[in-house]
Structures are given as C-alpha cells and as structure tokens.
Amino acid sequence: MRVSDRTMYELPSTILEYFPQIIQISKPSNFKKLNSTLLAAIDEICRTTPNSKPRHWAGNLYTTARNRNQLMDEPNFRELADFITEEIKIFASKFCIDKSNGVISINNMWINILKNKDSMDQHCHPNSLFCGVYFVKIPHNAGLLAFDSPSSEQMINPPIKVNNQYNMRQAGFKMSEGDLIIFNSYLKHRVLLHDVDEERISIGFTCAL
C-alpha cells in the first residue's frame, strides 16, 4: 500500500457538520411603500441628530447607534418594528428557546448611513441575544455585509487550494432593498467599503430577553 496520490485509494468517509451559524432572511411584502415612509423619517432624523459614531470606530459612517437608538418606539418605525418582532419569534423558535426566559424584544434600533468610501469595522453586539439589519436603500454594488468565521482568528492559517465552506474565513451577504436579516449577536460582522456614490441606508437592531 502506497500513499503518494490521494486517488490511489479512498477510504469510505462521512463529513459530520457541527455548530453551523444561520442567517434568517425575510422581506415585508409591502417593502417599497414601507421604505418610502422610512426614508422620509430618516431624512428628518439626519437633519436633527448629529453623528454618534465613536472616534475608535475605524470606518466612517453616519450612525444613531449611540444617541437615537430607540427607534422602535417612534411612530414612523413601528410598522418595521412589528415586522422585526414577528421575525425574531420565528428565528428564536429555531433555537428552541424556552418561554421561561421571558419575551425576546427589540432593545435597540438605530440608523446607519454609508456614503462613498464609508465602511464599518468588525464588531459584534454584547448584551443582546440576536441582532439584525433591515435594508432601506441599497444601490447597485453597495458595500457588502460580511460575516467573519471564528477560524479567521486562528493563528495558523493553512494554505488553501480550493475555497470552500470549511475554510471560508469571511462570508459576504448580497442584500437587496427590503431584506431583513437576523443572526446571533456574537457572530462578528462588518460592512465592506461602500465604493459607490449613492447612499447605503440600513436600520440595525438588537434584541434581548
């Protein structure tokens, strides 16, 4: 028996896949009308609310994450908040979360706007269980939302011959207007460079028990 070529003999094998992360994607049926309402409200907020981006964030963007993050309580965002709340329930059911924990509800909801050359560096959302993004305005080739694999933090990074799901260090999500995505708050993510002139407008949120 000589092992000089993988194809000389193949042992019968099975790949067991453990610990997958899931991203839930859904869309309100009336998202165009909803987005029109949201854009008008966002425009008004931008005029009266300064950028709350902390200096230690590397990328540039406009955000109300630190100074106006209770949008779920504002009338213009209530319809979206209701939709998100229902979707969170469905996402939570995938994790078999016991009702004894209490109700999962939105605890923060804010606006992010990226102009040309803006981005958002890698982060996660402590003190929350799930988080998500609703995409209000997404121009063609807008900066992608990208998720980072836990393997991206490993200090040994073997050379790769074929890219696949097992060696993937980052996964980009190609979003479109009206998409609502929900994922685990501990999953690190970022927004890659927004390299187009039109603005990219999204609403971020976190939820907790």
Partner 1 sequence: MSIVPARDYQKLFPVPVMLIKVPNAASLNEKLVAEIQQVSMTTPNGKPDSWACDVYTTLTNNNRLHERPGFHDFDLLMRQGFMQFGHAMGYDFTIESLEITQCWVNIYNFGMSQEIHHHPNNIMTGVYYLQAPANCSEILFHSHFADVMIRPAVYEDNALNNPIASLHPKPGDLIFFDSSLRHSVPANDIEGERISLSFNARF
Write out the residues near partner 1 by the rule CB under 8 A.
1-6, 9-30, 79, 82-83, 86-87, 90, 94-98, 100-101, 127-129, 147, 149-151, 154, 156, 158-168, 171, 173, 184-187, 208-209
The answer to whether residues 116 and 196 touch, using CB atoms and an 8 Å cutoff, is: yes
The helix/strand/coil state of 82 is helix
Shortest distance in whole angstroms from residue 58 CB to partner 1: 24
* Nearer CB in complex with partner 1: 29/48: 29
* Nearer CB in complex with partner 1: 11/75: 11
Report the C-alpha gap between 75 and 44 in whole angstroms. Answer: 13
Shortest distance in whole angstroms from residue 72 CB to partner 1: 15
Site of tokens 């708050």: 185
Shortest distance in whole angstroms from residue 100 CB to partner 1: 6
Backbone angles phi, psi at 79, to 5 degrees: -60, -45
Report the C-alpha gap between 87 and 180 in whole angstroms. Answer: 9
* Nearer CB in complex with partner 1: 120/182: 182
Shortest distance in whole angstroms from residue 155 CB to partner 1: 8
Shortest distance in whole angstroms from residue 50 CB to partner 1: 31
Shortest distance in whole angstroms from residue 171 CB to partner 1: 5
* Nearer CB in complex with partner 1: 50/150: 150
The answer to whether residues 111 and 203 touch, using CB atoms and an 8 Å cutoff, is: yes
* Nearer CB in complex with partner 1: 46/171: 171
The answer to whether residues 108 and 65 touch, using CB atoms and an 8 Å cutoff, is: yes
Residue 39: Cβ-neighbour burial (10 angstroms; 0-12, 13-18, 19+)? middle
The answer to whether residues 148 and 172 touch, using CB atoms and an 8 Å cutoff, is: no
* Nearer CB in complex with partner 1: 81/113: 81
